[in-house]
Amino acid sequence: MKIVITGGAGFLGQRLARRLLQAGSLTDSNGTVSPITELVLLDTVAADGFGDPRVRSVVADISDGRRMADIIDGGTASVVHLAAIVSGQAEADFDLGMRINVDALRTILDICRSNGNRPKVLFTSSVAVFGGDLPDMVRDDTALNPRSSYGMQKAVGELLVNEYSRRGFIDGRVLRLPTISVRPGKPNKAASSFASGIIREPLNGEPAACPVPPDTRLWLLSPRKAIDCLLRGHELSAGALESSRTINIPGVSVTAGAMVDALRRVAGPEVADRVSWEPDPFVARIVGSWPAAWDTTQARILGLEGDADFDSIIRAYIEDDR
Amino acid sequence: MKIVITGGAGFLGQRLARRLLQAGSLTDSNGTVSPITELVLLDTVAADGFGDPRVRSVVADISDGRRMADIIDGGTASVVHLAAIVSGQAEADFDLGMRINVDALRTILDICRSNGNRPKVLFTSSVAVFGGDLPDMVRDDTALNPRSSYGMQKAVGELLVNEYSRRGFIDGRVLRLPTISVRPGKPNKAASSFASGIIREPLNGEPAACPVPPDTRLWLLSPRKAIDCLLRGHELSAGALESSRTINIPGVSVTAGAMVDALRRVAGPEVADRVSWEPDPFVARIVGSWPAAWDTTQARILGLEGDADFDSIIRAYIEDDR
């Protein structure tokens, strides 16, 4: 069984790859469980250090349709599509966001369709598809009203994956992920980058500026639980997704201020005091348009779980990444 | 002031053109009222019979980006985008629907954006963006969950027009129209074509087969009121559309059976008895996925009105088109 992960050299991609290699086998769209024989990690940079004969690192631009058609061939049972231009960058460069977040997705979907083997396609969406006057708790049937280019592009992606699935071109599933926190490594161009930075940098002994006010509420998921959800989301039978291919993944609803309070409890005041409050209107506007929580009944019925609280998220980060 | 109507040779396009010529002037995105000096009716066939020096009929394929850039130049104050592949045809030919309903729209939006004059763009959407387990009354914040390719393509269009407006590339407005009934002329490839045919054909002394069961509920708007709404929707100030550029236009909620009852009241039993019931699963599935009514509070606040009842719709058809 061949699996392709786009964004496979990224942090979630590499972590998912390790988990899939551990699992050893997956369920295809016919319900057949088969061993993973080839795991392609596709990205703009190489994914090194796997040392596993099943892993193939491929460096390519996902908007290069010809290369993509070579990589996602008719023997590909699943595509996990994680590659994206993140929110801050998609807002700064509209055309780049459209090219990668919309056009490249469509190219991938059309390749899957023309292959004719109805592969599974796992697509990650985002809190950013919501916006405007939101209820305290976003429901499964709350309208998408994105207030960022990234959110619009992810919303279009959701519609495409649902429709290509309805038509039987693919067996798609959309996991609408909370903001991932705590990401290891360096800040990125996501407007939500601080949601990891204000925990990660202080734990590294470095100062961190929080660009949103303390009462800004976020909806967060640890990388550990995100990987659990990706794996389970892949394994779900299509029959469980008849009303919609889109699943709201459970998060922890917490304010930026409460995140720092949790850091204080878990790591002590000296660490928490490394966070300063320096509002940035660009970031605050984008992040402030996102929902603080959404209804997760469907996810829980399907067995997809989030974290218990933000203290647990910090502890998971310390265990997994430090 | 130059106005471009795509689908300008079609039934709504021609009727709107006549109305605009009568009105003589329109409000541009700066709020300035100016006389209409040029009205381009763009379509795949010529729009004849206007005999007005302001009207220019242009035959072009809207997916031909180079031609479109010539036609929608920097002097274009408004684009009324009516051209579309209709529901039945978009379901039968997925690629054609994507090319016209998504890609050509995007080309038009990008031309408007690169012109830099922030033109008004009036885009018509549809009941078909909704689907699945719908509430009896669709709210403004009910999620789009299209169950047809046409519906998905219109939903993507709504997202694009909203986002291009938010970014200030255009001054867009999306009118989500009920099914238009009674359309004059011949049946088309829309799944909803019968919603006109079961009235028009019997009035012409011809038999008509209704492809949905009598209890199928439709959400209908007369051409007369549709034109009123298009004109008013164009004239609204952008400030009235801050929370969303999309407006649900009021319709009349009526079952197919009650439509024929109304025909009996207005035109007599001999006419109504020309309707036979011949369910077609393809049509019934698409039409059955659409909402039977939606909340129209916002439209009414903005002064956009529908018809009083279906009897009035039949009478308007007899007055305007027979």
Q: Do B156 and A152 touch (CB under 8 A)?
A: no
Give residue B223's identity as a one-letter amino acid code.
P
Cβ neighbours for A238, distance < 8 A, ≥ 6 positions apart: A29, A165, A171
**Which range is least confidently modeled, A39-43, A185-189, A258-262, B29-33?**
A185-189
Distance CA B295, CA A6 (A): 41
Q: Does B166 touch chain A (CB under 8 A)?
A: yes
**Taking chain A, what is the end-to-end CA distance rounded to the nearest angstrom?**
33
Using alpha carbons, select from B150, B99, B160, B161 the residue that is nearest to residue B127: B150
Nearest CA in chain B to A160: B152
Enter the tokens of residue B28.
């541009």
- Report pLDDT digits (tens) over B126-144: 999 999 888 888 987 889 9
**Mean local confidence (pLDDT), B149-163:** 98
Distance CA B183, CA B10 (A): 11
Enter the tokens of residue B285.
């599935």
- The distance of B4 to chain A (nearest Cα, Å) reads 25
- Report pLDDT digits (tens) over A258-283: 999 999 999 999 999 999 999 999 99
Residue-level pLDDT at A151: 97
Average pLDDT, chain A: 96
A interface test, pick of B139, B156, B160, B242 with most A CB neighbours within 10 Å: B156
Residue-level pLDDT at A139: 87
Give the pairing type, strands B120-126 and B76-81.
parallel
pLDDT-derived band of residue A135, with 50, 70 and 90 as boundaries?
A: confident
H/E element, A285:
helix A281-288
Q: Which domains does chain A have, with CATH numbers?
A: 2-177+222-249+293-306 (3.40.50.720)
Is A140 a residue whose pLDDT tops 80? no
- Of A133, A156, A163, nearest to B243 by CB-CB distance is A133
Q: Identify all chain A residues contacting B142, using CB atoms and an 8 Å cutoff.
A: 141-143
Q: Are A177 and A124 in contact (CB under 8 A)?
A: yes
**Mean local confidence (pLDDT), A39-63:** 97
Cβ neighbours for B84, distance < 8 A, ≥ 6 positions apart: B7, B100, B101, B124, B150, B154
Q: Are A222 and A291 in contact (CB under 8 A)?
A: no
Distance CA A120, CA A169 (A): 10
Q: Does B115 touch chain A (CB under 8 A)?
A: no
The answer, yes or no, to whether the previous bond of B182 is cis (omega within 30 of 0) is yes
Distance CA A231, CA B24 (A): 61
Give the pairing type, strands A25-27 and A217-221.
unpaired
